[in-house]
Amino acid sequence: MIEQFAKEELENVAQKIEKEGISKDIRKRLAELGLLAATLPQSENGSGIDRRSFSLVLMTIAKYSASVAYFTYLQNTLVNEILSKAQKRKEEIIKIASGESTGTLVHDLNLNFPQEVYIKGYELYGSNSFVILPDADLHLVLARSESPSYLIMANPVKIEKKKPLGFRAISFGVASYKQTIEEDRIILKDADSLLKSHFFDTSDQIAAIALGMSESAVEKAIEYSKERKAFESYLYEFQPISAVLTDMKGRIEEMKKALMLSEVVQDRILLKLNALELSRLASRVALQIHGGYGYLEDLGVERYYRDSMFLTMLSSNYIKDIKTVSKEIISPDAFKI
Amino acid sequence: MIEQFAKEELENVAQKIEKEGISKDIRKRLAELGLLAATLPQSENGSGIDRRSFSLVLMTIAKYSASVAYFTYLQNTLVNEILSKAQKRKEEIIKIASGESTGTLVHDLNLNFPQEVYIKGYELYGSNSFVILPDADLHLVLARSESPSYLIMANPVKIEKKKPLGFRAISFGVASYKQTIEEDRIILKDADSLLKSHFFDTSDQIAAIALGMSESAVEKAIEYSKERKAFESYLYEFQPISAVLTDMKGRIEEMKKALMLSEVVQDRILLKLNALELSRLASRVALQIHGGYGYLEDLGVERYYRDSMFLTMLSSNYIKDIKTVSKEIISPDAFKI
Amino acid sequence: MSDLSFELPQEVEETRKRARDFALREFTNELIEHFDETEEYPNEIRKKVFDAGFITIENPWNMLVTMEEFCRVDPGIGLSTLASVFGSEILLLYGTDEQKEKYLYPTLKGEKISAVAVTEPGAGSDVAGISSRIEKTEKGWMLNGHKMFITNGTVADHYYLLARSAPPPSKEKRHHGLTLAIVERRWNGVNPVKLKGKLGMRATDTAEITFENVAVPNENIVGEEGKGFYIIMTFFNISRVYVAAQSVGTAQGILDLLLEYLAEKPASFREMEYVQFALAEISALIEAARNITYKAATKVFSFNPDPALTSMAKYYAAEIANQVANTAFKIVGIEASGSKLEKLYRDAKITEIWEGTSEIEKLVISRMILKKIQEVK
Amino acid sequence: MSDLSFELPQEVEETRKRARDFALREFTNELIEHFDETEEYPNEIRKKVFDAGFITIENPWNMLVTMEEFCRVDPGIGLSTLASVFGSEILLLYGTDEQKEKYLYPTLKGEKISAVAVTEPGAGSDVAGISSRIEKTEKGWMLNGHKMFITNGTVADHYYLLARSAPPPSKEKRHHGLTLAIVERRWNGVNPVKLKGKLGMRATDTAEITFENVAVPNENIVGEEGKGFYIIMTFFNISRVYVAAQSVGTAQGILDLLLEYLAEKPASFREMEYVQFALAEISALIEAARNITYKAATKVFSFNPDPALTSMAKYYAAEIANQVANTAFKIVGIEASGSKLEKLYRDAKITEIWEGTSEIEKLVISRMILKKIQEVK
């Protein structure tokens, strides 16, 4: 069903979505399919989809529109993982789950150096320069204070959009805050470590998006290799081309299987890193096979090249990720020097 | 149980086995554990172990002695896959399954160019320079003729052993044949394609051995990184060292999962290639971390370096393997030029 | 003690310095963003580059290091300005005095812009596979065809164009019967259309051009009729060295940005061994790419080209530029967002594609090696 | 038009040719196998190498290309014979006339064999971490310690040995207080034990050596007391260039073997694009490794060493040698079994380990880069 939705409603408009953004119609369709509060139990207005199936959903959507897949991931993160766990703000959950409004999470956990959003008393101030979907209706903002950190429902005083490298259907930019917040807008305390473990835990969902993108890039390349001739032979007849495509296919299949069985968080993080790397490689190969045409946006191939790197930047920090796993599987003192 | 056997009966003598070969005692123990006719149904004197479990067995043994794992694989290939499928020579099956005698398969399927073993009428002649276990009691020889190829039970007139790069517990070398064979020593007709599909189909077993070796190499390296200091810190504290070890661990875990779900033959072939590559990389990393000590045979680390390449050479031909899969998943005309 | 020297002549090093200063001063972030955004051709900067004397083919080393230093700051503007004389070596080597007078010298004076029109929709790297036709008429020649991805396509005054003048004598001799002609953009029947939406190098002008019954006078044929393939291959041997320099410059630019990033952050960050290893690896790769590029250039610039070496330089340097971009991102991550690093990542990819894809380069290299085997036998 | 030149002087190229001919003639397959099998030191071949005039430090380029060409045929015998003067640069640069007379000149005449004894069981790449002690006595010095992986350890007449003569003044200055001494193998208390069972390079002599109350006369101290670390680092800057050449030679040897294999097989096999691409990639990598090695050598041999460049050469060339071996195996597969390719695969690995592991090289490179950041700030 998701396959059908993605194929029929996203495939042909994928390029248009990139230009015009994810429309309310698409959000509504995602909502109808129960994908905006996917893993939330039905009792809490969710769809009760199990985690593994949700990963497959993301992978399928990513094959047709990586932007829509990432958007879906982001909305679910807010709704399923954060708002619902915080046992708060039922009305916001419903709004996002229904596609009525959009939400975003403003944090600096994948950055090498913290962004300056602080809370002092009830005063929230500062800005973050790397916000995905800064024009979302709902901002959940990780704010640092002297002791713990807080996740706060806030409204930016100013946003400044920048053209992102990838996921151009989704806005990106700077969001600045300056407001006095009410008590009930504090969603989580000690939000830093809770968010971190959330991100680590959902690493497999990012891996799923990366794999969907990889698969799609490779399939496009195979298709093209069957249409395009050079030196009077089809591209796929050339050994190095079929070898690299076959190799990619194999690695995708391998990681898809690993995705199904990755229960431990360290495995998920490493799978994410590997899948992201694969997606960058697959997009580079696909672009290369398309030659000059691949370098033009018309064929929709260069998009994979940008999206795969942008997804990497958005959802992983190699040093932090590998450090986290090293400490777990080698020694708490690992990765020190 | 297998873990216990491997740990107790192989770990401490692994280096000794490399020097002295796989003794009859070890064969007997493997037989007692039902590992020499592992996947053969009990009705045919086998142990009836399912395929997936057998892969795990090979992986476990390979962690302690790659030579013994490969030997086990080889004996099973003969007994389970070939002799039993050919519905012939029950007494040979029993002998090998019991560890009483050893068998080998003499073929050229992983070579770029065929070896010269021919059959003309009932005359078998020629030689093969790349035979594993040429001093086996039983030789199953792939002999080419004008039309189909045959698998023949033969006795070499001469063998010449060479020191192999890896698996030094197992002999390796040239075997020459010159004999008139009896009708009933022809095991298979059109053996070429049957053996090919056998090797492709059991690619996951080779992957399992490669993964066992990788795991063991990485674990040895982690252990050493916790004992050895440089610049007054333990090696594992250095970021590049913990990063590479963590990365390897992740890839091993990933492939282990893929191994469990690889049902399609193409997936198995590609998994084999990836696992072999990983084993070479892991052994190189492990040796590097051990530094000069790694370069000496005493620590048993350089062995992984040799064994991983030797296993690669024995059980895959990159060009042939990738071509086979390319033709299957891209087009019958793929990988042509 | 040795003839070996890895030092460029002082004059060239001075040009390098001047080029770097020029690029840092003139290729402002604002302009870089502007041309990346609008995909306009940076004609004003081109003129400045001319006036500053960077475009000269007297000592090609000067152009080479300028290419490197310009691309280090911005490959889009950098290449775009320097490539305004694209193809000049063709006339220099094969042109008649009249052709030089009419086309080459005005170009080298900055009065005209040239382009090379070889690639076609159906024939990218496979030069011999082009299907544009140039046929003899009573008065001269008639051109019909379709060219693709032509750099400077809509801004050039004239193209050095390859078309088929006779059918290939055999399957093995597909590269026979191609003829090179100078075709002016403003002639009747020439219709260039700007291609927009490139991943990177958006300051370069790229066009699709159709030619419909274009009359080409006899005097505009370059070299011998039917021998255009060789002329173009000779030219590629030169132009590929410049693409290698583009790659080296881009890679160096990425390292510059990474070092800038690190310099702004607390020392503890850059002292992490993981970061140090990445810096070491990147530096070694750039060093290797630069040496091989210069070595190929010494051959080409002394009229003794080594096609295998040139192809190694082109393919290896392109590979390195892309690899280095990936490594830099692994460290900087999302903080590179909106930065020049992002742009160089997009720009770098073209180096594996134009002037012969990496695949073509590898075939050139291996054919030279296999020839040796053949000779030995 | 340019000072740049990638051509070695004719004299050096002649030496290279002589070295190649010598190696092809003298390093027979039989001998290669013999020394690989027995792990003996090839002393007879060493003498021949001497007699043929290959061991000379007058023009170090001659030694460098000889190293390359010897290792191309067999790294074990090749390095082992050339390294019989290992450490000579130490005396050349820091030795007294008496030390030169007694140790250096006889070594350079082939009458003695030298070795460098730095590495210890507990301190490989971490030179400052060594714990052998050399202490002043009434008459001279007393040495106690334990050295490991010493090339020529059981065949050398004397060692250039580093030991601690004073405790480090602080944690940051661990490299202070180390002293370099010439120690003869036959002195009382010196006990070298040959290490057998190496993965490759089995024609080289490798030893573990214990020193028990070894009396060292005053005149055997090299350079200033306590400054041994600097002497050794200066020496490594030289010796690493030779290891880079070893790697380049090994890599080239692997390519030779691959080409030999291909030449013997039907042309259709080597004309497969997959094989062609592999050849192209291998050739480009070797070209890159050789250039960087020669560039580092131009610096070192003109007494203007660039440690970052030397480390790049050492690490990059080693990386390439190992990578190239892997690629070659991918093509030849099991048919390489028992061939020299197998042996070169085993030999190649050491280049990433000795004379500073690849990890150490990377730290040297990045420290130089980070220094620049520091200076700019």
Residue-wise pLDDT tens digits, B127-170: 999 999 999 999 999 999 987 899 999 999 999 999 999 999 99
Residue D335 reports pLDDT greater than 80: yes
D198 CB-side CA count, 13 A: 29
pLDDT at A207: 98
* pLDDT confidence of residue B88: 63
| Alpha carbon distance A3, B132 (integer Å) | 49
Taking only the tens place, the pLDDT of each residue in B185-216 is: 888 888 898 899 989 999 999 999 999 999 99
Secondary structure string (H, E, C) spanning C70-115: HHHHCHHHHHHHHCCECCHHHHHHHCCHHHHHHHHHHHHCCCCCEE
For residue C92, the distance in angstroms to the closest alpha carbon of chain A comes to: 28
Chain C positions in Cβ-Cβ contact with residue A113 (cut-off 8 Å):
265, 269, 335
Residue-level pLDDT at D375: 74
Instruction: Please tell me which residue of chain D has the smallest CA distance to C310.
Output: D284
- pLDDT bin (cut points 50, 70, 90) of residue C376 is low
Distance between CA atoms of D262 and D257, rounded to whole angstroms? 9
Confidence of residue A87 (pLDDT cuts 50, 70, 90): low
CATH 1.20.140.10 location in chain C: 230-376
Contacts of D62 in chain C (CB under 8 A): none
Q: What is the pLDDT of residues B228-252, one digit of tens each?
A: 999 889 999 999 999 999 999 999 9
CATH code for C114-226?
2.40.110.10
* Beta carbons of D199 and B287 less than 8 Å apart: yes
Average pLDDT, chain A: 93
Mean pLDDT value across residues D137-155: 97
Chain A closest-CA separation from residue C7 CA (Å): 35
Chains that touch A (3 or more CB pairs under 8 A): B, C, D
C173-203: b (≥16 Cβ within 10 Å) or e: ebbbbbbbbbbbbeeeebebeebeebbbbbb
Q: Do D357 and B172 touch (CB under 8 A)?
A: no
Cβ atoms of D328 and D258 within 8 Å: the answer is yes
Optimal mutation site among C34, C146, C337, interface A, most CBs of chain A within 10 A: C337
Q: What is the pLDDT of residues B318-327, one digit of tens each?
A: 999 999 999 9
Given a cut of 50, whether residue A48 has pLDDT beyond it is yes
Q: What is the pLDDT of residue B243?
A: 96
Query: At CA D144, angle to CA D140 and CA D150, rounded to 5?
Result: 110
Q: Is beta strand A138-144 parallel, antiparallel or unpaired with respect to A103-106?
A: parallel
pLDDT of the residue at B87:
65
* CB contact set of B251 (below 8 Å; sequence gap of 6+): A270, A274, B278
User: Out of A99-103, A288-292, B38-42, D225-229, which region has the weakest mean confidence (pLDDT)?
Assistant: B38-42
The model's pLDDT over C102-125, given as tens digits with 9 standing for 90+, comes to 999 999 999 999 999 999 998 877
Q: Which of A254, A319, A330 sits opposite B245 (nearest CB)?
A: A330
Does residue A234 belong to the interface with chain D, where contact is any CB pair within 8 Å?
no
User: C291 to chain D: nearest residue by CA?
Assistant: D291
DSSP C182-220: EEETTSTTEEEEE---BSS-TTS-EEEEEEEEEEE-GGG
Domain covering D10-85 in this structure, CATH number? 1.10.540.10
Is C135 in the active site? Answer: no
C39-92 pLDDT, tens digit each: 999 999 999 999 999 998 788 999 999 999 999 999 999 999 999 999 999 999
Question: Which residue of the set C69, C225, C352, C355 is catalytic?
Answer: C355
pLDDT tens string A107-139? 999 999 999 999 999 999 999 999 999 999 999
Q: Is the pLDDT of residue D374 over 80?
A: no
| pLDDT level of residue C377 (50, 70, 90 thresholds) | low
Report chain D residues whose CB lies below 8 A from the CB of C6: 4, 294-295, 298
For CATH 2.40.110.10, the residue range(s) in chain D are 114-226
- Closest by CA position to B233, among listed D228, C273, C266: C273
Any chains having at least 3 CB pairs less than 8 A from chain B are A, C, D
Distance from CA of D367 to the nearest CA of C (A): 8
Q: Which residues are D144's β-sheet partners?
A: D133
From the CA of B24, how many Å to the nearest CA of chain A? 38
Compute CA distances C349 → A241, C120, C251, C287, whole Å. Answer: 18, 20, 11, 20
Judging contacts by C-beta atoms under 8 Å, the chain D residues touching residue A239 are 272-274, 277
Model pLDDT, residue D372: 81
Q: How confident is the model at residue C373 (pLDDT cuts 50, 70, 90)?
A: confident
- Distance between CA atoms of residues D274 and D268, nearest Å: 12
Record: contact C298-D2, CB cut-off 8 A: yes
What domains lie within chain B, and their CATH numbers?
Answer: 2-101 (1.10.540.10), 104-190 (2.40.110.10), 202-329 (1.20.140.10)
CATH 1.10.540.10 segments of chain C: 10-85
Pick from B146, B152, B151, B141: which is nearest to B190 by CA?
Answer: B151
pLDDT interval class at C2 (50, 70, 90): very low
Q: Beta-carbon neighbour count of residue A250 at 10 Å?
A: 23
The per-residue pLDDT for D41 is: 97
Mean per-residue pLDDT over chain C, rounded: 95
Percent of chain A with pLDDT over 70: 98
Instruction: State yes or no: pLDDT of D216 exceeds 80.
Output: yes
Say whether pTM exceeds 0.80: yes
* Residue D376, Cβ density class (10 Å: 0-12 exposed, 13-18 middle, ≥19 buried): exposed
Q: Above 80 in pLDDT, residue A85?
A: no
Confidence at C320, pLDDT banded by 50, 70, 90:
very high
pLDDT in tens, B48-66: 899 899 999 999 999 999 9
Question: Over pLDDT 90: what percentage of chain C?
Answer: 88
Is B305 within 8 Å of D352 when comparing Cβ atoms?
Answer: no
- For residue A89, pLDDT over 70 is answered with no
Q: Give the type of residue at C1.
A: M
Cβ distance of A113 and C265 shorter than 8 Å: yes
pLDDT, residue A88, reads 63
The mean pLDDT of D205-215, rounded to a whole number, is: 97
Return the closest-CA partner of residue C282 out of B121, A69, D369.
D369
A282 or A51, higher pLDDT: A282
Say yes or no to pLDDT of B304 above 80.
yes
Average of pLDDT values for D49-57?
A: 92
- Are the C-beta atoms of residues D102 and D111 closer than 8 Å to each other? no
The answer, for A160 touching chain C at a CB cutoff of 8 Å, is no
pLDDT average, residue stretch C281-301: 96
pLDDT at C249 over 90: yes
* pLDDT tens figures, B77-105: 887 777 776 666 667 778 888 899 999 99
* CA gap A178, B45 in Å, rounded: 79
For B267, nearest residue in chain A (alpha carbons): A250
- C1 band by pLDDT with thresholds 50, 70 and 90: very low
Overall fold of domain C230-376: Butyryl-CoA Dehydrogenase, subunit A; domain 3 (1.20.140)
Please give the Cα distance from B189 to B193 (Å, whole number): 9
